[in-house]
Structure 1
Amino acid sequence: MIGGSAGAPAPRRSLRGAPAALALVLVLALLGLALLGAAPGGSGETVSLAGNEPGQRLDVTLVQVVDPASPADPEGPAADASTRLLAVRFRLENTGTAVYKDSPAPSAHVLDTAGKRFAGLNSPTTAGASFPDTVTLSPGGSAEGFVTFRLPEDAAPAAVQFALNGGLADDVGQWSLP
């Protein structure tokens, strides 16, 4: 939930193998439902996602959203008067047969209520430990960490997305934010 509480929004859909245009239409439709007040499901739900290579599969759980988040490093990217940081904690579990080696930050995006999309950053915040630049998980392995986003101060986050292969996989998980 927004505001730093430990609840997590519910997953919305998996866009498995859909052509890019269809995927965009589905994402916009889901965003529209979120904007119209579609009720989120239970918190901490997991979405199973496939990558573009054989054996690539992760169970991804959105664990927590911290909004606003404070930078952990005074030298790192900090929010200014017109922006704020938002931190999202994910749990990744390799349920496939291949080793998962990827960077979670570019795999994650936030959509706001105006339809703008914001890419994840590898920027530590005081919310908790960030993922390293590259996460390597053998089958059965898991990791948990935060991905940070820089949003305009007045942006209203509507959804969080995650896809393997640096965010380029056809299979996209989405969680609506209240």
Structure 2
Amino acid sequence: MRVSLDQVLRQLRTTADPYQRLRDADELDQALVAARSAVTMIKKATVNELRDRTTGYGTIAGKLGVTKTRVQQIANAADKHGPVVVAVKDETDRWYGQPDLAGGAGSGEAETANPFRPANQDHPLYGQKLLARWMDLPYDEHVSLYALHLHGDDGSIRPTRMTLDVFDTLFGTTTNQPASTD
């Protein structure tokens, strides 16, 4: 798998509008941070998959051309987790995603920082301020690398990752049905 980061950077540098260039650069920066976390977890899972009674850290290190200590560091990397949006509610009080998943300690609700404005202006949620329901979850294969910007309790705006189900509701090609009505 080869992805040309140079091509993405070249495109970013040639964006004419400086404000758009800055927004795009910030979005790319956030995606790279999130991707690094995901790649760390993939490497950890892969090392642990390779390791068995006959294949130790030393064997894996030799095949990769790194030290045994580095392989041990990869295998023992801390699991990443944090707040993840599991559902969003539109202005008609319809939920999308899994609103019943969150509840109790380590969960909450917050409004999106801005009205939702995807490229598709025909999207049924276009222009709406959404209410996001989030909970503390591991950043695994069910969590998108992309984030919604939510209002924090202290008034700050916090990028908060979302489940793939929420991502598909907001940006996917399918039209998701509401999860429930409150």
TM over 0.5: no
**Which of the pair has the greater relative contact order for Cα pairs under 8 Å at 6+ separation?**
1
Q: Taking structure 2 as the reference length, what is the TM-score of the superposition?
A: 0.25
| Structure number with higher helix proportion | 2
Which has the greater radius of gyration? 2
Q: Taking structure 1 as the reference length, what is the TM-score of the superposition?
A: 0.26
| Structure number with higher strand proportion | 1
